[in-house]
Amino acid sequence: MKPNKSLFTILSLASISFVQEIALTFDDAPIRDGAYFSGSERTKTLIAKLKKSGVRQVAFFCITSQIDSLGAARITQYAEAGHLIANHTHSHTSMRQLGVINYMQDIFKADEILRKLQGFQRWFRYPFLDEGRTREERDAIRQALVERGYMNGYVTVDNYDWYLERLFQAALRERKKIDYGKLRPVYLEHLWKSITFYDQMARKVLGRSPKHVLLLHENDLAALYVDELVALLREKGWKIISPVKAYTDPIATNVPDVLLNNQERIAAIAKANGYAGLFAQESEDEGFLDKLFTSLVVIKAR
């Protein structure tokens, strides 16, 4: 008996439609030496772990004031490994501090440095995900980016990995003893909570799971655990994709007319649609992470 081709096709398409996809992106590269890894060690570790995990392409959003000779070598190593390089301003200073004109100059000063590099993409990610406090500011920057051929390097999954890193670095500098057996699940669970939270928000607002873009930072915790994060995502049924593919999702051109700052694209769309739910999950909170980190991760001073 021949199989029912139409039923087989429907089942196949249904299974494909439920595959959740996510791209990895790293802000603030090249971050200088940490208390765990030197900058050069961190770069080598990230490249090696991504390669071993079969992640062919991620994106590094760069702060060009940090690209000295060593930093330039590290960005080149990322590019030569097949990863993408994008713009995160020259100084990583907020628009409120610089004003619109100086902010534009900060973006395009970074562009002059980055456009010469292998793997460069005309993607711009706003520092602090702050697109402006007024429509005039926001629209002036948006127009300037369009005129230079830039796309907004938005994220769909925000989180507080940067704050966990701050706690981690402070504990190391203070020579506290770290329980790495407890640090690992704290880091991974925090990221997993954020991924599932924003995916659920997207399903409520969009009616589907989009091609997600995860915001990470090029820091020591990422270098320690990126391979385990990838393994966790795959175990949960997620597919790691290139940022190039992620930015083909229809939400790339869905730019809501809202003033929602320090948040990501899904939250902006949600706000524009009158979403009444929460806009962040519980571990996206400094007080929550302070207690969690101190109680579980830091054992005692050496």
Q: Which of the four pLDDT bands, split at 50, 70 and 90, describes residue 7? A: very low
Residue 129 counted as domain residue: yes
Specify the pLDDT at position 75: 98
Residue 12 counted as domain residue: no
What whole-number distance in Å separates Cα of residue 277 and Cα of residue 23? 25
Q: Which of 192, 201, 211, 190 is nearest to 268 (CA)?
A: 201
Amino acid residing at 134: T
Specify the pLDDT at position 132: 85
Do you know the residue count of the chain?
302
Average pLDDT over every residue of 294-299: 88
Residue 41 counted as domain residue: yes
Specify the pLDDT at position 5: 43
What whole-number distance in Å separates Cα of residue 53 and Cα of residue 24? 13
Average pLDDT over every residue of 177-191: 97
pTM for this predicted structure? 0.92
Least confident piece of the model among 7-11, 166-170, 188-192, 250-254: 7-11
Least confident piece of the model among 13-22, 34-43, 260-269: 13-22
Q: Would the pLDDT of 11 be above 80?
A: no
The percent of residues above 70 in pLDDT, for the chain, comes to 92
Model pLDDT for residues 55-113, shown as the tens digit of each residue: 999 999 999 999 999 999 999 999 999 999 999 999 999 888 999 999 999 999 999 99
Specify the pLDDT at position 43: 98
Average pLDDT over every residue of 180-190: 97
Q: Would the pLDDT of 198 be above 50?
A: yes
Specify the pLDDT at position 298: 84
Q: Which of 3, 52, 80, 25 is nearest to 211 (CA)?
A: 25
Q: Which of the four pLDDT bands, split at 50, 70 and 90, describes residue 19? A: confident
Q: What would you report as the CA-atom Rg of the chain, rounded to the nearest whole angstrom?
A: 20
User: Which run of H or of E encompasses 238?
Assistant: strand 238-240
Calculate the average pLDDT of the chain: 92
182: burial class by Cβ within 10 Å (0-12, 13-18, 19+)?
Answer: middle
Residue 234 counted as domain residue: yes
Q: Which domain holds residue 277?
A: 21-301
Specify the pLDDT at position 63: 98
Q: Which of the four pLDDT bands, split at 50, 70 and 90, describes residue 152? A: very high
Specify the pLDDT at position 18: 66
What whole-number distance in Å separates Cα of residue 193 and Cα of residue 37? 26
Residue 5 counted as domain residue: no
CA distances from 46 to 43, 60, 75, 182, 275 (A): 5, 11, 12, 21, 37
> 17: Cβ–Cβ under 8 A, 6 or more apart, which residues?
208
Specify the pLDDT at position 158: 94
Instruction: Give the tokens for residue 299.
Output: 């054992």
Q: Which of 77, 118, 122, 107 is nearest to 244 (CA)?
A: 122
Residue 47 counted as domain residue: yes
Q: Would the pLDDT of 147 be above 70?
A: yes
Specify the pLDDT at position 17: 47
Model pLDDT for residues 251-275, shown as the tens digit of each residue: 999 988 888 655 689 999 999 999 9
Residue 259 counted as domain residue: yes
Residue 1 counted as domain residue: no
208 φ, ψ (degrees, to nearest 5): -165, 170
What CATH number corresponds to the domain at position 110?
Answer: 3.20.20.370
Domain count, the chain: 1
Specify the pLDDT at position 261: 59
